[in-house]
Amino acid sequence: MRAAEALGYQPNPIARSLKTSRSSTVGLVIPDLTNPLFPPIVRGVESVLESDGYNVWIVNTDNDPERERVKIESLRSRQVEGLIIATARLDHPLLQHLQEQGVTMVLVNRQVADLHIPAVTGDDVTGVTLAVRHLAELGHTRIAHLAGPLNTSTGLARARAFRHAVRDHGLEDDPTLTVECAHWNEDDGAAAMRRLLDRDPGCTAVVAGNDLIALGCYDVFAERGLSCPGDMSVIGFNDMPFLDKLRPPLTTVAVPHHELGAEAARMLLDCIGEPDRPARSTLLPVTLVVRGSTAPPRG
Shared domain check, 80 and 13? yes
Q: 214 with 208: CB under 8 angstroms?
A: yes
pLDDT tens figures, 135-192: 999 999 999 999 999 999 999 999 999 999 999 999 988 999 999 999 999 999 999 9
Shared domain check, 192 and 266? no
The boundaries of the domain holding residue 276 are 2-122+256-284
Note whether residue 81 is domain-resident: yes
How far CA 149 is from CA of 97, 104, 179, 282, in Å, comes to 23, 27, 10, 22
Shared domain check, 102 and 50? yes
Rounded to the nearest integer, the mean pLDDT of the chain is 93
Note whether residue 293 is domain-resident: no
Closest Cα to residue 131, out of 43, 9, 278, 252? 252
User: Is residue 27 left, alpha or beta, with left meaning phi > 0 and alpha meaning psi from -120 to 50?
Assistant: beta
Note whether residue 294 is domain-resident: no
Shared domain check, 182 and 137? yes
Q: What pLDDT, on the 0 to 100 scale, is given for residue 11?
A: 65
CB atoms closer than 10 angstroms to residue 218: 22
Helix axes 211-224, 186-199, angle to 10 degrees: 50
Shared domain check, 45 and 158? no
Shared domain check, 230 and 199? yes
pLDDT of 14 strictly over 60: no
pLDDT of 228 strictly over 70: yes
Please give the Cα distance from 242 to 200 (Å, whole number): 31
Shared domain check, 162 and 113? no
CB atoms closer than 10 angstroms to residue 99: 17
Note whether residue 291 is domain-resident: no
Closest Cα to residue 237, out of 196, 293, 288? 288
- pLDDT bucket at 221, cuts 50 / 70 / 90: very high
Note whether residue 289 is domain-resident: no
Quote the number of domains for the chain. Answer: 2
Q: 207 with 177: CB under 8 angstroms?
A: no
Note whether residue 295 is domain-resident: no
pLDDT of 12 strictly over 80: no
Q: 179 with 142: CB under 8 angstroms?
A: no
Q: 163 with 128: CB under 8 angstroms?
A: no
Q: What pLDDT, on the 0 to 100 scale, is given for residue 192?
A: 97
pLDDT of 20 strictly over 60: no
Can you give the CATH number for the domain in which 188 is found? Answer: 3.40.50.2300
Q: What pLDDT, on the 0 to 100 scale, is given for residue 298?
A: 87
pLDDT of 18 strictly over 60: no
Q: Collect all residues with Cβ–Cβ distance below 8 Å to 191 and sequence separation of at least 6.
A: 181, 216
Note whether residue 211 is domain-resident: yes
Cα angle 60, 65, 68 (rounded to 5 degrees) comes to 35
Shared domain check, 192 and 44? no
pTM: 0.89
Evaluated on CA atoms 87, 153, 243, 145, the torsion sign reads: positive
Helix (H) or strand (E) segment spanning residue 120: strand 119-122
- The residue-averaged pLDDT of 218-246 equals 95
User: Is residue 109 left, alpha or beta, with left meaning phi > 0 and alpha meaning psi from -120 to 50?
Assistant: left
Please give the Cα distance from 240 to 133 (Å, whole number): 21
pLDDT tens figures, 242-286: 899 999 999 999 999 999 999 999 999 999 999 888 888 999 999
Q: What pLDDT, on the 0 to 100 scale, is given for residue 16?
A: 54
Shared domain check, 251 and 261? no
Cα angle 22, 28, 31 (rounded to 5 degrees) comes to 155
Shared domain check, 155 and 115? no
Strand order in the sheet with 55-60: 55-60, 25-30, 83-85, 105-108, 119-122, 281-284
Q: What pLDDT, on the 0 to 100 scale, is given for residue 8?
A: 79
Note whether residue 6 is domain-resident: yes
Q: What percent of the chain has pLDDT over 70?
A: 95
Residue count of the chain, please give it: 299
Range in 53-62, 120-129, 274-283 the model is least confident about: 274-283
Shared domain check, 216 and 149? yes
Shared domain check, 7 and 83? yes
Q: What pLDDT, on the 0 to 100 scale, is given for residue 117?
A: 95
Q: Which residue has the higher pLDDT, 75 or 201?
A: 75
